Each structure stands twice: as C-alpha cells, then as structure tokens.
Amino acid sequence: MRLRQLILSLLIVLAVLAGLYLSSTASASLTLKHYLIVVAGFAALMLLQSRQSASEAEEIRSESTDQQLDSLERDFDALLNILNEEFSAQIQSTQNELDQLRAMLNDAIQKLIGSFTGMESTTRHQHDLVIQLTSQQASGHDPNVTNHGGQESITFEDFLQDTTQTLNMFVDNTIDSSKLGMELVTKMDEINLEMDKIRKILNEVEGIASQTNLLALNAAIEAARAGEAGRGFAVVADEVRKLSLRSSEFSNEIRSHMGDVTDSVSKAEDVIHKISSKDMNFALQSKQRVGDMVARVQDINATMKTVVQELAIATDKVEHDVHTAVTSMQFQDLASQLITHSMSRQQALQQILSGIVAIDTAHLDQQNRAAHWHYKLEEARALIERTRHNPVKQVNVDAGDIELF
C-alpha cells in the first residue's frame, strides 16, 4: 500500500513541477493546463482510492481486534466465575467454622457460669457454717447474747464451771457429813463413858445386893437360933433375902440391856465409820479431769480464734478470685462479637465478589461499561466502609475503664 502512495505522491510532484515549468514558459497552451488538471485530478482520485483501501484495511483489522476482545472478555468472565466459585466455597467453609466456634463458646460459657455460680454459692454456705460453728464457741463469752425460748445454750465453759461447782458442793457435803459423823462418834464415846460409869454403879449395887444376901442369911440363922422369939425376925430376914435376889436380877437385866445398847452403839459407830471415811481421791481426780478439760477448751478457743482469722483472709481471697473470674468470663462475649465481626467482613467480601461476577456489560457500549464498573466499585467501597468498624479493640480481659459523665 505504501508503495502505491509513494508512486502517487511522486506523480503529483511531477505534475506540479511540470505545470510550474510549463507555466513558466510563455507558450503555455490550453492543452497543457488541461493535461495538468487531468493529471492532478487523476492523482487525487488515486489518493482517495488508496485512502479508501487503507481504511478498508483498517476496518478489516479492527473487526478482528473486536473479535479478540470479545473472546478475551468471555475468557475473563469464565475465570471470574471459577474464582467466585472457589472463593465462595472457601468463605462458606470459614463461615461454618467461625459459626461452629461461636456456638462452642456459647455452650462452654453456659456450663462454666453454671459451675462457677454453684461453687460460689457452696463456698458461701461453707463460710456461713464455719462462722456458725466458731460463734457458737464464742457466744459463751458474750453477756449480750440472747437465749431463745428460755433454753440456755450451754457452752463448754458453762458446763465446766457447773461441774466444778457440783464437785465443790460434793466435797463440802462429804466433809460436812464426816464432821457430823465425827461429832456423833464423840457423843457415842461419851455414851460409852456414861455406860462405864453405870456399870461401875451396877457393880456396887451388886456388891450391896450380895452383901445384903449374906446379912439376910446370917439373920435367918440367928433367928432360927432364937427360936420362937426370932420367928418374926426370920420372916423379915427372908424377905430381905428375896429383895436382894430381886435386886441382883434387876442388875443383871440392866446389864443385859446395857449390853444391847453398847452393841447398838458399836454397830452405829461402824456405820458412821463407813459414812465418814470417804476417800478424797475422787475429788482430786475430778478436779484434774476438769482442769484438763479447761485446758482443752482453751486450746479449742485459741484454734477457733486462728480459724476465724484465717477464714477472714480466705474469704477476702475468695472474693478477689470471684471478681477475677467474673471479669474473665466475659471473654466469651468479646470473642463472640469478634467472630461475628469477622464473619460480616467475609460476607462483605463474598458480596463484592458476587457483585463483580454478576456484572453483565455485553449489551453496553464502551462509555456505559466504564460507568457501570465505576458504579460497582463504589458499591464495594461503601460495603467495605460499613464493615470496617471493629467493635472489639480489647486484646486481653483486663477490666475496662469507667467514666461518669
């Protein structure tokens, strides 16, 4: 083509030169001018023709480019579709996994909260029980503690004091009994002394009686010797003898009774012996036992004091641990929100991708195609903006700030 144009250009140049030459000569005739015009016209025609054929060639060229572009677009569309399918599958899998994670956290936290509140309640109950136990011990010391329904709540101390008092009373009783007993035996000794005095007197009485008996015998003999004159006397002597015999009998009776009394007194003394002779070791042992108990109670009280102190420390620690647990367990809410946010970002990605894939510009021309793409890009950008805000900035479960307006 270019050769043609070159030849034509040359011809035009020749024609112009020839024309110039001829016009320069005076003998310019009509035929030359006409010849020049014809040549110029021919040259122009030749140029036009070559132009036409050049644009024709171009048309043929752009037709095949269009075809190439179309095929390229179709390939691109196909690629996008494949990409979309792949990404969608990946995003869907990730969404499923995130959803699974969110559900697992939800389930786990409920179980955790359940066992935590259960444990806390039990701990508080145990604490109350210990307080009850230790305050029961302490209430004995507090004069302001009111007793319910008239029933005295006895503490160990009260009981030990009672026991000591009872023991003292028992010891006093024993000694008082013994003292009385000793007084009684003194009296009995006095009785025995009196009895001895009486026996002495009885001896004398018996002596008198036997002497009287002898005298009466003598008198009777003398009376018999005196015969009739002594008969009256003999009767009297006889009576006197009878009296002295009776006197001896009485004396024996008295002795016998006194023997009974002495026996009774002796028996009584034996009884008093038993009553008054109490071994005091029981009291010593009791006192020892009470003393041991008191010491043990003091130990218990000391232990209780320690327990109460330790309980206070433990209670503080538990309270602190409970606070930490409550703060930390809120991790599930934060994690859940982060997961939800992540899922919404992925959804946005999915939407953008689907949007792009759905673009159908085959029916649009160049200008509208560009506008359409622009519009789609703006849509995507807006979507990204909406999902940009992450509601959870925390990186740990330290307690957050508090501000009062």
Partner 1 sequence: MQITSRTLNNEATLSLAGRFDFNTHRDFRNTYEAVLKTGGINKLTIDLGGVDYLDSSALGMLLLLNEKAGAANIKIVLANGQPNVRQILEIANFHKLFNIS
Partner 2 sequence: MAKSILTVDDSASIRQMVSFTLKGAGYDVTEAVDGQDGLDKAKSKTFDLIFTDQNMPRMDGLSLIKNLRALPQYRSTPVLMLTTEAGDAMKAQGRAAGATGWLVKPFDPAKLLEVVKKVIG
* Cβ at position 338, least distance to partner 2 in Å: 9
* Cβ at position 169, least distance to partner 1 in Å: 11
Q: Which of partner 1, partner 2, none does residue 391 bind (CB under 5 to 8 Å by kind)?
A: partner 2
* Cβ at position 264, least distance to partner 1 in Å: 19
- What single DSSP character describes residue 399? P
Q: 272 in helix, strand or coil?
A: helix
Q: Per-residue b/e over 340-371, b at no fewer than 16 CB within 10 Å?
A: eebbeebebbbebbeebbeeebeeeeeeeeee
Which residues neighbour 50 within 8 Å (Cβ) at sequence distance 6 or greater? 1, 4, 5, 8
The number of residues that bind partner 2 (CB under 8 A) is: 31
Structure-token pair, residue 235: 């009767």
Q: Which of partner 1, partner 2, none does residue 334 bind (CB under 5 to 8 Å by kind)?
A: partner 2
Structure-token pair, residue 359: 């673009």
Measured CA to CA, the distance from residue 91 to residue 85 in angstroms comes to 10
Helix H or strand E encompassing 9: helix 2-24
Q: Per-residue contact track with partner 2, 373 to 392, x per CB under 8 A?
A: ------------------xx
Q: Per-residue contact track with partner 1, 252 to 291, x per CB under 8 A?
A: ---------------------x--xxxxx--xx--x----
Task: Kindly identify the residues of this chain, within the stretch 96-155, that bind partner 2 according to CB under 8 A.
Answer: 106, 109-110, 113, 117
Q: Per-residue contact track with partner 2, 311 to 350, x per CB under 8 A?
A: -----------xx--xxxxxxxxx-xx-------------
Q: Which of partner 1, partner 2, none does residue 186 bind (CB under 5 to 8 Å by kind)?
A: partner 1
Q: Which of partner 2, partner 1, none does residue 245 bind (CB under 5 to 8 Å by kind)?
A: none
Binding flag, residue 334, partner 1 (CB under 8 A): no
Quick check: 87 and 350 in contact, CB under 8 A? yes
Measured CA to CA, the distance from residue 246 to residue 78 in angstroms comes to 167
Binding flag, residue 168, partner 1 (CB under 8 A): yes
Residue closer to partner 1, measured from CB, 36 or 272: 272
Residue closer to partner 2, measured from CB, 289 or 323: 323
Residue closer to partner 2, measured from CB, 69 or 104: 104
Give the chain's radius of gyration (CA, Å): 74
Measured CA to CA, the distance from residue 269 to residue 183 in angstroms comes to 11
Q: Which of partner 2, partner 1, none does residue 284 bind (CB under 5 to 8 Å by kind)?
A: partner 1
| Ramachandran sector of residue 364 (left: φ over 0; alpha: ψ -120 to 50; beta: rest) | beta
Helix axes 331-358, 281-329, angle to 10 degrees: 20
* Cβ at position 325, least distance to partner 2 in Å: 9
End-to-end Cα spacing for the chain: 86
Closest CA to 220 of 234, 209, 202, 199: 234
Binding flag, residue 179, partner 1 (CB under 8 A): yes
Which stretches of the chain bind partner 1, using CB under 8 A? 168, 171-172, 174-175, 177-183, 185-186, 189, 273, 276-280, 283-284, 287
Binding residues for partner 2 (CB under 8 A)? 106, 109-110, 113, 117, 322-323, 326-334, 336-337, 391-394, 397-405
